[in-house]
Amino acid sequence: MRPLGNPVQHANFHAWGMKYASFLDYSPANGRLYCAGWREREGFGTGLGYYDIAASTFGGTDLNLNLVDPQGLLTFNDCVVVSTTWSHDPLVHVPPPDAQLILFTPDLVEIERQTVASGMKNTGSLFRVINNNSMVVGLVKTHGAEMLYRHDFRLKSVVSTKTVGLPVGASWQDPTTGQAYAVVGGILY
């Protein structure tokens, strides 16, 4: 019998190489809590997993994710989108790729990688566009490259961009209303 109350320890995502679970998003379509995080010791890059709440089971992957670190995560009815920056795997001697949005099936099989803009090094935090199952808003917090962008991942195109021009700190989106908040230049917007 499971103990009652909160918090209840369910297990962890370590089977998929993830040491630091950094981004969570819940999918009401399948009742899974998805997680993206950094790997350590057993490898480099990203680990991606889910916890199926009803079945009390974990699943995940780190396949072909050694060259990217996670920057954001959003779930949709038919896919999971991970925002990335390049990782520093010392065993791979290739130039770092452009930062990409990586799309996965709900079972975390990679569908494709989309480059938002050539030369972009970080695709940033991701925000949902309410009532739109194909659009994400990205907030890039990289010093000197701070920007907002709107990307349609089904059409594989950038819809709009806006340079922020000030340091970007913490950000959050209300999952009910879709309103987003960010600390920009020390001021909450």
Q: The pTM is what? A: 0.86
* Statement: 14-167+182-188 belongs to CATH 2.130.10.10: yes
Question: How many whole angstroms separate alpha carbon 52 and alpha carbon 59?
Answer: 8
**Contact predicate 128/136, CB 8 Å:** yes
- Given a contact cutoff of 8 angstroms between Cβ atoms, the answer to whether 103 and 123 are in contact is no
Mean pLDDT across 45-59: 90
Q: Is the pLDDT of residue 108 over 50?
A: yes
Q: How far is CA 171 from the centre of its chain?
A: 14
Write the CA distances from 48 to 18, 98, 122, 163, integer angstroms: 7, 20, 18, 30
pLDDT at position 4 over 60 = no
In the predicted model, is pLDDT for residue 129 greater than 80?
yes
The arithmetic mean of pLDDT across residues 91-101, rounded, is 80
- Rounded Cα distance between 110 and 104, Å, is 4
Predicted local distance difference test score (pLDDT) of residue 1:
47
Q: What is the mean pLDDT of residues 94-103?
A: 85
pLDDT at residue 132 greater than cutoff 80 = yes
